[in-house]
Amino acid sequence: MINFPAFFSIALQSYSFNPHNIQLYLSTQSIGGRLETWLNIGSDTALSDLTGSSAYQSTPPDEVMAVKSLLKTPIDRADNFGARLRTYIVPSISGRCTFYVASDDSSELWLSMDDTAANKVKIASVNGWTSPEQWTTYTSQKSAQVLLTAGNSYFLEAL
């Protein structure tokens, strides 16, 4: 059984400055994404297997890799693992945006309205699984509109 998430895909839809869905590209002002993976945390698909594991809570990840350009991770890369993708986004123009998340299996997408991880709030989630870049399986995959301001840094995390 593949544990959560076998992949993450995150998309952004802008109502203010772009009339169609686009993949969320990291701006040149961004530092890029960091994908952290904890192996052998259980064979269930509940996100609590990751967040409740002693390895996640008290040890460094087993694997770390940089995610550049697209906020998208490799597909079917391991079994019985949990992952966390963290980045900062810096929009080049202001506008109202909607975030989407797709994953196999369960996932949550968190956003802070500043660059502080402690201020993050859950904005979208998958309570099961989706195919890669399948944005409409669950209504919870889509965030409410969020106003992002040009030049401001926002912390973004997917579990």
37-71 pLDDT, tens digit per residue, is 888 887 666 788 888 888 888 999 888 888 775 66
107 with 48: CB under 8 angstroms? no
Residue 109 lies in a domain: yes
d(CA 19, CA 82): 34
pLDDT the model gives residue 69: 59
Dump pLDDT digits (tens) for 69-112: 566 666 666 667 788 888 888 877 888 888 888 887 788 999 99
Q: Which two tokens stand for residue 134?
A: 């399948």
pLDDT the model gives residue 1: 28
The CATH number that applies at residue 92 is 2.60.120
pLDDT band at 16 (very low <50, low <70, confident <90, very high): very low
d(CA 90, CA 103): 24
**Domain count of the fold of the chain:** 1
Which region, left, alpha or beta, applies to residue 40 given φ > 0 means left and ψ of -120 to 50 means alpha? left
Residue 1 lies in a domain: no
pTM of this structure: 0.81
> For the chain, percent helix, then strand, then coil, each to nearest 5?
10, 40, 50
Residue 85 sits in which domain range?
8-158
Q: Which letter does DSSP use for residue 58 in this model?
A: H
Q: Which two tokens stand for residue 139?
A: 């209504």
d(CA 24, CA 71): 6
Residue 146 lies in a domain: yes
Q: Between 10 and 149, whose confidence is greater?
A: 149
- Kindly state the percentage of the chain with pLDDT values over 90: 16
Average pLDDT over residues 7-31: 41
From 84, 85, 4, 83, select the one nearest 43 (Cα to Cα). Answer: 4
Residue 2 lies in a domain: no
Residue 99 lies in a domain: yes
From 29, 1, 42, 45, select the one nearest 159 (Cα to Cα). Answer: 45
Residue 3 lies in a domain: no
Residue 140 lies in a domain: yes
Output b/e per residue, 29-38; b: 16+ Cβ within 10 A.
Answer: ebeebebbbb
pLDDT the model gives residue 110: 94
